[in-house]
Structure 1
Amino acid sequence: MGALYLLLPISLVLVVVIGIAFWWAIFSGQFDDADEAARSILDDDDTTVAPKEGGKPGDTL
């Protein structure tokens, strides 16, 4: 029973802290554009330059 007197207030404080952090994240715009990171991989420019004539494989300009 003595452990409840310690763990219950600690858990309530932790729930309040997590709730405040989540509230801040929502209203500060952290979740506004969640798909941009996924799209940035697809929009990346992956073009490579062909090696010079007579160059070794892997050589670029």
Structure 2
Amino acid sequence: MNIIFLLIGISLLLACGFLAAFFWAMKSGQNDDLHTPGMRILCDDEP
């Protein structure tokens, strides 16, 4: 029964780590422009 409590604690710490990484990515602006990179391949390069 103790192993279940240990695994629950580890999973909560892991989930909090992923949540913190998500908030860091949103704060640093990594998801600001999702449209332009997909459209860049469709445009011709002008010399």
Fold-level similarity (TM above 0.5): yes
* CA apart distance, 1:10: 0.3
> Which protein is bigger by CA-based radius of gyration?
1
Q: Which runs of 5+ in 1 are unaligned?
A: 46-61
Distance in 2 (CA, whole Å) between partners of 1:11 and 1:18 is 11
* Alignment-derived partner of residue 4 in structure 1: 4
- Asked which structure has the greater RCO (Cα within 8 Å, sep 6+), the reply is 1
Q: TM-score, normalised by structure 2?
A: 0.81
Amino acid at match of 2:29: G
For the aligned residues, what is the CA RMSD? 1.1
Report the Cα offset of residue 28 of structure 1. Answer: 0.5
Residue type matched to 2:15 in 1?
A: V
- Aligned-residue sequence identity (percent) comes to 44
Letter in 2 for 1:19: L
